[in-house]
A = this chain, B = another copy of it.
Amino acid sequence: MNLFGDVPTQLPDEVFTTLLDADNVRIERIVSRGHASPDGFWYDQDRHEWVMLLSGAARLLFEDGVVEMKPGAFMNIPAHLKHRVEWTTPDEPTIWLSVHYGEQQ
Q: Using CB atoms and an 8 Å cutoff, list the residues of chain A in contact with chain B.
A: 2-5, 19-20, 22-25, 27, 48, 50, 52, 54, 70-74, 76, 97, 99, 101-102
Copies in the assembly, this chain:
2
| Residue on B nearest A73 in the bound complex, by CB | B2
From B3, B25, B76, A52 is in contact (CB under 8 Å) with B3
Distance, CA A52 to CA B83, complexed state (A): 26
CA distance A70 to B5 in the complex (A): 11
Residues of B within 8 A of A72 (CB): 2-5
21 contacts between A and B (CB under 8 A): A2-B72, A2-B73, A3-B52, A3-B72, A4-B71, A4-B72, A5-B72, A19-B50, A19-B74, A20-B50, A20-B76, A23-B24, A24-B101, A24-B102, A25-B25, A25-B99, A25-B102, A54-B54, A97-B97, A99-B99, A101-B101
Choose from B4, B19, B97, B102 the contact partner of A23 (Cβ within 8 Å).
B102
The verdict on A22 contacting B48 (CB below 8 Å), with A27-B99, A97-B97, A99-B27 known, is: yes
